[in-house]
Structure 1
Amino acid sequence: MSDLSSGAADGDTARTVADAAAGAIAPDDVAAISALRSAVMRLGRRLKHQRVDESLSPTEMSVLGTLARCGSATPGELARKEHVQPPSMTRIVALLEAKGLVRLEPHPDDRRQKVVSQTERAEAMLDESRRKRNAWLAELAEGLDEDEWAKLRAAAPVLEKLAHL
């Protein structure tokens, strides 16, 4: 069994598709990586449609999720975490503030900066969104047998780790 399929994902064992092209990854692992990518993308697209507030873009939802996970941040920190340019994040934050989902407060150490925090309204909306998406996933998972459930439970922490690398 390869390191990837056994769940190892540290810097020594993580491999890229470029490595696969160079012959560094076994063909079975290339197929597994491709299947994983395809499944995650399809599932992600379907999850995006399970939104509570259709007026928010996926990017706006992602920023709110980042604030929920990481706490308050400057627009620059949010831009880095979301992999967008700072001017784009400034626009996103302004839209979220106009919708009452974030508030801007002075930075405690740098008067030139602002700190972005989510509002109670955003927290409630995110909670409802999580409930809706979890219910949708639970409904899908009802069709799994015990062996598939066991594999899914084992895969969840590995997928979470990959999402944060």
Structure 2
Amino acid sequence: MPSDVAQQVKSDVGLASALRSSIMRLSRQIRWQRVDDAELTANQLSVLGALAKHDAMTLGELAAHEKVKPPSMTRIVSNMEAAGLLVRRPHETDKRLVLVELTEAARALILANRRRRDEWLKTKLKTLTPEEREILRKAAPVLEKLAAL
């Protein structure tokens, strides 16, 4: 770790600032590795991620999860449905509701993105020393915990 960063992270404020800055730069670089034939918006990518994690969701659940108003989510889903990335189907128990789920094309796009990003990051990790990679192995669960708070 460069000495200026090492000095900065000695306080909690410095640690917060260094983490924010580093995580934002790394996140940006990872986003640039995206396979994006469909040229999806950030909202659409977020919807894909939510549905990949939670499987099928109602429009209301998806809107709440993404913190957007239901009419906005309806518009997002309609555009993605037209692009062949999402399908709607009736809810199993409540016929008033509609479930939204990924198509195989969306699943393939998500997998291609994950593979490309993982490969890029794996290449970057190889440039680190074994000790630095071990630090990251120990930090990964802590960062996940921080992200979940």
- Is the shorter-chain TM-score for this pair beyond 0.5, marking a shared fold? yes
Sequence identity percentage: 50
Give distance in 1, aligned partners of 2:67 and 2:22. 22
1:47 to 22, 25, 30: 30
How far 1:90 sits from its partner (Å)?
1.4
Q: Partner residue of 1:80?
A: 64
TM-score, length-scaled by structure 1: 0.78
Matched, 1:30 2:20: no
Unaligned runs of 5+ residues in structure 1 are: 1-26
How far 1:145 sits from its partner (Å)?
0.6
Moved over 3 A (4+): none
- Report the AA paired with residue 121 of structure 1: A
Give distance in 1, aligned partners of 2:68 and 2:21. 24
Q: Output one character per residue of 1:65-91: Cα deviation in whole Å (capped at 9) or x when no partner.
A: 111111110111112222222222111
Q: Partner residue of 1:144?
A: 128
Bigger relative contact order, structure 1 or 2, given CA contacts below 8 A and separation 6+? 2
2:96 to 112, 121, 141: 112
Give distance in 2, aligned partners of 1:161 and 1:108. 34
Q: Output one character per residue of 1:31-53: Cα deviation in whole Å (capped at 9) or x when no partner.
A: 11111111111112222221111
Could you say which structure has the higher helix fraction? 2
CA RMSD of superposed structures (Å): 1.5
Closer/same/farther in 2, CA of residues 53 and 43 from structure 1, 3 Å limit: same
Aligned residues: 139
Unaligned runs of 5+ residues in structure 2 are: 1-9
Q: Secondary structure at the match of 1:39?
A: helix
